[in-house]
Structure 1
Amino acid sequence: MKRILLCLVLVCTYSITHGQQEEIDSIKRVVATQSQLDQVKSLNELAWYYRNFDIDSAFYFANMALNIGIEQHSQAAISQSYNSLANNYEAIGNLDSALLLFQKVLDIKISLNDTLGLAGAQNNIGLVYDEKSNYPESLDHYFKSLRLYESIDGQEFNTAMVLGNIGIVYKKQKDFDKSFEYYESALKFYKLAGSEFGETVTNGNIGNLLIQLKRFKESIEYSELALNGYRNMGYSRYEPYMLANIGIAFDSLNQTSKAKEYYNLALSGHKDHDNQFEITNVTLLLSKNYGKSGQHTKALELAQQALKSSVSLDALDFQLKATYELAENNFALGNVKLGSAFLSKYDSLKDVLYEEQKSKQIVEVEVKYQTEKKEQKIALQAAELEAKDLELQRNTILLTALILILIMTIISIVLWRKREVEKQHAVAQEQKIRLREAQMTAVVESQEKERKRFAADLHDGMGQLIAALQVNIQSLKTTNDAEKQDGLYENSRSLLKDIHTEIRNIAFNLMPQTLVKEGLISAIEELVIKINRAGKVKVQFSHLDAPQLNEVAQISIYRIIQEFISNILKHGDANKIVIDITGHDNELVLSIEDDGSGFDKRKLENGEGNGWRNINTRLSLINAHCEINSIPNKKGNSILIDLPISNLISNLTNT
């Protein structure tokens, strides 16, 4: 089931990223001409698109929308922006903040009597409780959402979505019959809504669920429907999941040859997309299949492969399965000593896995205890507050008299101060609008520049390689010369390898995976290696006591370093760059030094380019201070950035 749910998430992500640039460009073209309340909707749409690949920009647009909603005193606009911010927090795993904001959205929707918005808020809260593994609360909100959607005409798609969510929760609780019932209902509504995507994913979920219910023939039927759906929509990455499900069903029906055929197709598909986790999983299924059909030598070979990859993936459950297959097949081949050794290793791994699960259960029990204790404390505080309220009511009459006297005194002061405050507010508001416009312009122009560069990379690099590959494929169709066909085949493989390299380079430029997976320090080290490999300039990087910052701070610092290095490479005539990051108790200090030509700081700060404005936007986002030391016509420059980290540590904040 986890694989099918992952499939759903990845398909959604692919769909967004594939078509998002056109949508983003369209929104940016109209946002400057819209009224402020219309801008709220557009800014929140931008935040939704950016949340999957640039979370700091997503927060920036959502907060900008919230500020406009507050200024306009629009509860509808505020609720839209709270919803957008909650989605961002959910995307980075900060579920408590997401839940708090979704609850605020719910309260506003109730006050506005917005039934459709209320249904969406209930569903979102259910999703967060689901992620927190609080299934009773999750189901409670899902059912409230379902009842609301069912009461509104034309909500077949949303009804299907909530029914599917309920089915997922029941499956997590091992209530497979209930889960199947809600999946089937979801499928019916997706068909009414005409959603091919919803039908496809739900068919896949049902196919997987039917394996748990041991209804293998039906499982094959649903999985084949999902397989054909993914093919029709062009989602080749997700076809192997369905192929593997069909293989499991055939294996369970003792049709081992048929199962083997589907396993091999699934394995080939996952290899095409370099999905190491699923490659390991299907390899284990194949090993078990070969052992079941008496081909123990081949089963051993596959189990060894799976064990090796599961160790590199640090997947203990896969290691356990691979070790068991090694033991079973060695025993079957008469290798008793080796089989016993693997069986002993299997028992050890099982104990380790058991201890991990036991520790997790202990932590869950402790969390539940602390939650109940906190709830009791809140109830006690509520009782105390009620008693204090009664006491306050008795003193209200006396306080009212005193307040009236104070009000008469204050009114004269307020009238005198009002004009001054209004003047200050007008000046501050004008400055705020100018700053917001400048930041918006910088972000839009930067994204437009990045889009053009990305398009050029695709056209100049990928376009030529794909065109060459098409020529090879066409030539293969028209020639019968075996030697020439072999040459064309090898050339095509080389072109595919070049295309893969080009894609990896473009992906690195958009968002380095090292930054996402391993953090800021590893990403800077990787950037330094790439620059040094080019040989144009020598870069040194050192760090000391650097804290683990939240994702927004890490991305901002990385982009700031990229921008400064880019400026040095373009204009500085430098041979050496030294980057240093040092962490202190309450701050992080970043320094960048080079031996290039000096420059006039005022020209940089007052220039019309986007570089300095982008840097300033990033600095403002994380409340950092930048000091540049450079003298025109003299060698050597230094940049010192001081970043307060009290609100940016990843495990202490809600950012």
Structure 2
Amino acid sequence: MQRLLLFCSWLLLPALGMAQRTRLPEVDFDRRNDAGYMDSLRLLGHQHLTFTKKLPRTLKNDTLHLEGLRFLAIVFKQLRGNVQDSSYYYAGLLVNEARQRRNNLYMVRGLMLEEFYVRSVRKDYANALILNQKAADLCVSLRPETSPLWQVRMNMGDIYLLLKDYRQAIKSYEESLALLPLNKILSRRNQRLLMGQAEGQIGEAMVALKRYEEAIHKFEHVREIAREVNSQLNLVYANERLGDFMLNRQIAGEAIPYYKEALQTWIKLNDLAGQTSVWARLSECYSMTGETKLAIDYGEKALQAAQKLRNDPLRQMASIALYKSYRAAGLVDKALYMYESFVAIRDSLNDRKRVDELLALQRKYDVEKVQAEAEKRQLIHRQQLLEMRQRADVEKVRTEAERRQLAAQAREAQLQRKIETEKLRSGALRKQVEQQSRIESLSMDIQRQTLMRTFLIAGLVMLLGFVATLYRNNLLVRRQRQQIHALNVGLEDKVRDRTIELELANEQLRAKNREIEDALLRGQTLERKRVAADLHDNLGGTLSAIKLSLSALNPGKLSEREQLVYQNLVTMTREAYAEVRNLSHNLQPDELEQEGLGRALCRLIQKLNNTQLTQFTLAAGELPRLNKTTEFHLYSICLELANNILKHSRATEAHIQFKRVNNDLNMIVRDNGRGMESVVHQHDNHMQMVGMGLRNIQARTEAMKGRLEVYSEVGEGTTFFFVLPLTKDTVHV
């Protein structure tokens, strides 16, 4: 599998081209145990460096080269064993080349990578502290959104945590947490990962300070962040810390789920050491809960893996876990053997621990010595800065006084020279002005005489040319006037004849239109009368027959349920018959044809108010008698709008009003119902009504050459405003 990944990366890298060469991917720290993945990252970093070395020296190309060095240092930093020395090598190259290019940001990043190696591999905390202080000094020159000062503070927290100065460690981690959100270079995921790391380290320090409730809160927060950004390492770390917390409090049952989740993650990451530590802890948990078989199984797996890894701390964990498991199972001999193994490993580790503690004391002393020297240097530096500022202020005052004195002397000498120069200049100017005035007077006389002769000659030539041109233009104008007069006479006759023809054609068209409109109205009237008659005769007759048939039944012989059905049928038949009568009358009311639109609308309003909850009012005092077509259209519009109000508006009041304004007739139909969200939509650059009924209203309005406006708000009713021009064709004479 590793060879396959390497082969694929070799094939992909040339194909990706410039985009991949200039943009390196983020390292997925959860896959640092995946050898194929890490080898592909190393190969990518080396190819990036090879490519950037060939580029010309520009600010952008220098940054690309430095980023390649940083990328390789980070990749080697994630590997274990002697390979980490390569991380230190590339970190040193990064610091040196960033210094040559005067790039403080990458100098700080290189120093941080060097500090990690010195602290974690060499255990040289004093030099690690010195590197952190150098990085902090460089961060002063960087902007907060790019400054890695958060990393400096986090590294200081790690150093204090190793030196067991837990309060100072918590303070440094909290400073790092405050600085992290200000950094805009980090991706959102990496920023959250680093915040989770800092929170976890604060939890470790709080455990050491026996602030257990705060510590468990921190570990839970780390767990939430790990799930949020899908970080397997941070999640397994939080689960192990929570499990340890429960195990130390003898709550083994609550610790087991955390350990099992951690074990699944270690298996996914293919990390045997992580699996071994969890097996040992699960063995202890199951021995506490009385499940000795599971405790022994996990303990033996942990011991075998620890021996394979040759890891004494893991062997110690597995031995003590097996000792407790065997003892709980009653296997005394095995328990004794495991205890002896545990004691032997413990004594060996205690010896190492004592040595490490002595080394830690020495390192702590070295760190304190470095801190004291740094503070001493800072005090000396501050004192020197203060003295330099004082000397600079004194020198500035003295220099300013000397400058003012020299400036005054210079101004005085300059003023004296200026006075003498002005005297000489004024004398010379006076003589020059006198000579110039004499020369100018003579020149003016000569120019005046020359111009006079020139003007006389030019004027004579222009006068002759003007006379000739005027004579020629008069001849041309006279000839053109004759031609235009002849053309105008013929053109006027043609225009007059064509105008008479067009007027006759227009009159014929108007007559045809009136005939068509009258025929259409007659056809619609006849059709409405036919439909009304059919409704009244056929459907009305059928309903009457149904009513008679129902009356022939004897309701007294029916059951109670059948009597209820019988009454419902009688009521529905009576209402249907009344509705058919109203419908046949509304299709073509006699009042519209005989007495006009006003009387027909009055009759319609009366019927609506008798049968409906919505109360209609009519103001038709200014309505004149119109021709049949117009009255038919207006009646149909009012009928359609009344039906819409009754069906859809939920209005309690509706009003129809006619107003005559100059040569226009305005018809306003409004209600206080729920209104409409949209009554028009755009179609082929034309506003078109929504719904068949509203489109019919729009078509009738356009047929009358009128204009329709609709005003509606949800919850505030609807108003239809019609403007109809009153012409001799519209008004009934």
TM-score (norm 1): 0.47
TM-score (norm 2): 0.42
